[in-house]
Structure 1
Amino acid sequence: MEIKRDRYLRQLIESRQNGFIKVITGIRRCGKSYLLNVLFYRYLLEHGVADDHIIRIDLEDRMNKDLRNPDTMLRYVHDKIKDKELYYIIIDEVQLMNEFVDVLNSFRHIENADTYVTGSNSHFLSSDIPTEFRGRGETIHVNPLSFSEFYFAVGGDKQDVWREYYTYGGLPLIRSFDTEQKKISYLKNLFETVYLADIIERHKIKNENEMRELVLILASSIGAPCNPTKLSNTFRSVKNVKIAGHTISNYLAYLSESFLLNKAIRYDIKGKKYINTLSKYYFADIGLRNAILDMRQQEETHIMENIIYNELLVRGYRVDVGMVEIKRPDKDGKWMRIQLEVDFIATLGSKKYYVQSALSVPNREKEIQESRSLININDSFKKVIVVKDHIMPRRNEEGILTVGLFDFLLNEDSLDM
Structure 2
Amino acid sequence: MEGIMSLSSLIAEYLDFRIPEYTTRDSAALTVPEPARNNVIYTITGVRRCGKTYAMYQLMDRLIAAGVPRTKLFHFSFDDERIMPFTDHTLADLLDTYYRMVPDALEGCYLLFDEIQEAPYWTNFIRRVAEQHNVTIVLTGSSSKLLSSDIPTNLRGRSLSREMWPLSFREYCLFHDIPTTTVAGEYPANIRRPLQNACVDYLNAGGFPAVQRMGTLDRMRMLQGYADEIVTKDVLERFGTTSLRVAARFSRNALRSTGLKFSVNAQVKSMRSMQVPVSSGKLYDLMDDFEDAHLLFKVGGFTLSIRDNPKTPYKVYAVDPGLSLAVAPANHLDLGQRLETAVFIELKRRYGDNRTNAIASYSAANCPEVDFIVGDEATGDPYQLIQVAAQTGVERTMVTDFDDHSLNRKFRSEIGNLSAAIGNTGLKHGTLISLDEEGEVTVPAGTIEVIPAWRWFLQ
For the superposition of Structure 1 and Structure 2, which TM-score range results when normalised by the shorter chain?
A: 0.7 to 0.9
The secondary structure found in structure 1 opposite 2:450 is strand
The answer to whether residue 416 in structure 2 is matched with residue 372 in structure 1 is yes
- Selected match of 1:13 from 31, 37, 48: 31
Paired residues of 1:85 and 1:112 also in contact (CA < 8 A):
yes
Q: Which residue of 2 aligns with 1:82?
A: 104
Question: For residue 71 of structure 1, what is the aligned residue in structure 2?
Answer: 92
Alignment deviations for residues 28-64 of structure 1 (CA, whole Å, 9 cap, x no partner): 111111111x211111122343334323334455776
For the residue of structure 2 that corresponds to 1:108, the secondary structure is: helix
In structure 2, do the counterparts of structure 1 residues 176 and 99 end up closer, same or farther at CA, with 3 Å as the change threshold? Answer: farther
| Equivalent residue letter for 1:396 | T
- Of 369, 380, 384, 1:341 maps to 369
Deviation at 1:141, TM superposition (A): 1.3
What is the distance in 2 between the residues matched to 1:311 and 1:91? 27
The answer to whether residue 454 in structure 2 is matched with residue 409 in structure 1 is no
Cα 1:144–1:64 shift into 2, 3 Å: same
Is 1:352 matched up with 2:389? no
Say whether 1:32 aligns with 2:58. no
Once superposed, what is the RMSD of the aligned Cα atoms?
3.3
1:213-224 map, 5 Å:
213-224=249-260
Q: Could you tell me which runs of 5 or more consecutive residues in structure 1 were left unpaired when the two chains were aligned.
A: 327-337, 412-417
Q: 1:402 to 1:243 in 2, by over 3 A?
A: same
Q: Distance in 2 between matches of 1:396 and 1:359?
A: 21
* Residue of 279, 284, 288 corresponding to 1:253: 288
Quick one: which amino acid aligns to residue 389 of structure 2? Answer: A
Q: Which amino acid aligns with 2:256?
A: S
Give 1:142 deviation, angstroms.
0.9
Whole-Å Cα distance in 2 between the matches of residues 226 and 406 of structure 1? 28
User: Which of 294, 297, 300 is the aligned partner of 1:262?
Assistant: 297
- CA–CA distance in structure 2, aligned partners of residues 122 and 59 of structure 1: 17
The CA deviation at 1:102 is: 1.9
Specify which of 174, 193, 198 is matched with residue 152 of structure 1: 174
What's 1:384 paired with? 431
* Correspondence for 1:229: 265
Q: Distance in 2 between matches of 1:268 and 1:122?
A: 25
**Greater displacement, 52-61 / 275-284:** 52-61
Change beyond 3 A, Cα 1:78–1:295: farther
Secondary structure, aligned partner of 2:436: coil
Equivalent-residue separation in structure 1 for 2:382 and 2:302 (angstroms): 16
Deviation at 1:355, TM superposition (A): 0.7
The CA distance in 1 between the partners of 2:329 and 2:126, in whole Å, is 41
Which of the residues 195, 220, 238 maps onto 1:184?
Answer: 220
Provide Cα deviations, 1:52-101, integer angstroms capped at 9, x if missing partner: 43233344557767998122123235444637865322122323444222
Match of 1:117 in 2: 139
TM-score (norm. length: structure 2): 0.75
| Alignment-derived partner of residue 163 in structure 1 | 200
The alpha-carbon distance between structure 1 residues 4 and 197, as it changes in their structure 2 partners (threshold 3 A), is same
Shift of 1:320: 2.8
Show CA shifts across 1:133-190 (max 9, x none): 332222121111112111121034234433332222211100242x222111211222
Q: Cα distance 1:324–1:121, how it changes in 2: closer, same or farther (>3 A)? A: closer
Structure 1's 241 and 76: CA in aligned 2 closer, same or farther, altered over 3 A?
Answer: closer
2-side partners of 1:60 and 1:240: how far apart? 36
Q: Is the 8 A contact 1:267 1:273 kept in 2?
A: no
How far apart, CA to CA, are the structure 2 residues paired with 1:123 and 1:315? 21
Q: Out of 328, 338, 345, which is 1:293 matched to?
A: 328
Give the CA deviation at 1:314: 0.9
Cα pair distance change 1:3/1:382, threshold 3 Å: farther
**Which residue of the partner structure matches residue 332 of structure 1?**
none
Aligned counterparts of 1:339 and 1:390: Cα–Cα separation in 2: 23
Counterpart AA for 1:369: S
Corresponding residue for 1:396? 442
Distance 1:254 1:120 in 2: 12
2:359 corresponding residue in structure 1: 320
Residue 46 in structure 1 maps to residue 65 in structure 2 = yes
TM-score normalised by length of structure 1: 0.82
Cα pair 2:22 2:54 within 8 Å, conserved: no
Cα contact 1:353–1:381 (8 A) shared by 2: no
CA contact (8 A) 1:394 1:402 kept: yes
SS state of the match for residue 170, structure 1?
coil
Percent of aligned positions with the same letter in both sequences? 22
Contact 1:352 1:381 in 2 (8 A): no
Residues 390 and 374 (structure 1), Cα distance of their counterparts in 2 relative to 1, 3 Å cut: closer
Q: Does 1:135 align with 2:161?
A: no
Q: Conserved in 2, the CA contact under 8 Å of 1:25 and 1:141?
A: yes
Question: Does the CA contact (< 8 Å) of 2:302 and 2:362 recur in 1?
Answer: yes
Cα deviation per residue 1:101-143 (whole Å; 9 max; x = unaligned)? 2221122124531111223579756755544433222212111
Q: 5+ unaligned residues in a row in structure 2: which ranges?
A: 1-20, 179-193, 395-406
Out of 200-209 and 299-308, give the one that drifted further: 200-209
How many angstroms does 1:197 deviate by? 4.6
